[in-house]
A and B are shown apart, each in its own frame.
Chain A
Amino acid sequence: MPVIAVKNFKKSFEGREVHRDVTFHVEEGECVGLVGGSGVGKSVVLRSLIGLEKPDSGEIWIEGEEISKLSERDLVKIRRKVAYVFQNGALFDSMSVFSNLAYPLREHTKFNESQIKERIHAQLEEFGLAEAVNKLPSELSGGMQKRVGLARSMMIDPKVILYDEPTAGLDPFNTLKIRETVLRLKKKGVTSLFVTHDMPTAVAVCDRFCLLGDGRVKAEANVDKLHTHSSGDIQQFIDGLDGG
């Protein structure tokens, strides 16, 4: 049974149809890259997977549960299992890095303050962010903010991670750091869906790709067969990225 399954997903915004029939799945432990041109609605699909958007029609299954019609209250248990890494980190700007990381632990666990402190320091060490513990998000670079956002998403050990362009706008050093983190999480068996335009990183971390366009998944390909794939759309997309 796939961990994530999207079936006949349809979504419009103010009369403009963004998705008319998106269908794909992600198996357990797999990392799937969701790629496509700007504005095709990759983030909309990703947001819908944790109920931040509701589909107009279609089904979204997470670990065997259909979530598209769940209320905000019922979505809480899904959101404890599925972490979302926002494009800009989406850190709480009035809280320090420590408080940002403590947030999910205080909300969803019964850890006492010393256990929380211990876990946060261990997490920050793992993400190479130990020196940032008392800083505010505004005092961090863009790359560090994204890494803190990623560290926060991982605090309660989610089974699934949804990455929304985690390397967009980053320098090579921070891109490499994010790539290493994603690979480390993948080795731990975390299932991932990776939205990106950064093809070198996507090729390094993903097992399979879904190319989104014209409101549907136009093509799918395993990463090792990417350059020899028969789909003209896949070749066109890769050539465009190689050329660009």
Chain B
Amino acid sequence: MKASRVEFLRLFGGTTLLTRQVASELFRPPLYPSLVMEQIYQIGIRSIPLVFVTAGSTGMVMALQFGLGLEKFGGKLYIPKIVSISIVREMGPVFTCLMLAARVGAGITSEIGSMTVTQQIDAIRALGTSPIKKIVIPRVLACVIAIPLLACAANFIGIIGGLAVGANDLGLDPVFYIQKVLNTLWLPDLASGLGKTPVFAMIIAITACYFGLNVKGGTQGVGNATTKSVVTSSICILVGDYFLTKFFWILEQCL
């Protein structure tokens, strides 16, 4: 119990310090835009298939489940409303970020972890450069740029998935479906969903970089760090989702 408490405090302190280092070095030259672009490709473009499959099947399953449930009460016409609201406010951003915590988080931790155990991170420092600038900042920026865009695309694909099931399996008119979706969704729905994603992106990137930079114990250590990174960022996303939802809910009440 005591050891796990120490480990939690170490994680909290370590990630806080890393975030502070990123913030303090973010705009100080030299800047490496080409490294950021490379990471946007690795993290953003290469995650598109995974995000699309996840979002599409989530939308399809939701439409099917709500369709089966609501049909008994004659509420089938509410499917576009329920599916689109659920996807845009919750399922799209959260599922996307959970999938990316696994794909991107694991990738970042194992890559940086391998560099740590083979002394490549030490070599970056020994050659008079900063691993924060060369390794951490490009990944953090790429996540903060790419993940909200991916979540945006996931929302769209999820709604399309729901439309496909609604039209094919539940006998809903596609035009009616689209009209309902457009009438239902408004800016606060999009903002409360997508507004969470930069925070989730930071959680994924900082957690993954922290575990990668602090790998101990060779290749087995890299494996352990990768597992811890994915578990930690997934839990932080799920717990953080509650507080962010509440935050946006209060904000909506105030506006």
Contact = CB atoms under 8 A, between A and B. Distances in A.
Interface stretch (A24-32, A86-94, A185-193): A86-94
Interface in A88-119: 88, 90-93, 103-104, 107-108
5 contacts: A77-B128, A79-B128, A88-B118, A88-B119, A90-B123
Nearest 10 A-B pairs (CB), nearest first?
Answer: A79-B128, A90-B123, A90-B119, A84-B126, A76-B128, A80-B128, A104-B127, A86-B119, A107-B129, A52-B122
Nearest to B123: A90
Given A72-B125, A79-B126, 10 more contacts: A50-B126, A52-B122, A76-B130, A84-B123, A86-B126, A88-B119, A90-B118, A90-B119, A91-B120, A107-B128
B123 A92 contact: yes
A236 B126 CA distance: 34
**Which bucket holds chain A's interface residue count?**
20 to 34
A90 B115 CA distance: 9
A52 B125 contact: yes
Contacts of A87: 119
Contacts of A75: 125
A103 B119 contact: no
Nearest to A87: B119
A108 B122 contact: no
Interface in A39-85: 47, 50-52, 72-73, 75-77, 79-80, 83-84
A150 B119 CA distance: 15
Contacts of A152: 127
Interface in B114-148: 118-120, 122-123, 125-130
A93 B120 contact: yes
A93 B128 CA distance: 18
A150 to B, nearest CB: 12
A92 B129 CA distance: 13
Nearest to A84: B126
Contact of B130 (A50, A72, A86): A72
Given A52-B122, A90-B122, A92-B120, A79 B127 contact: yes
A79 B123 contact: no
A93 B118 contact: yes
Contacts of A86: 119, 122-123, 126
Contacts of A91: 120, 123
A72 B17 CA distance: 14
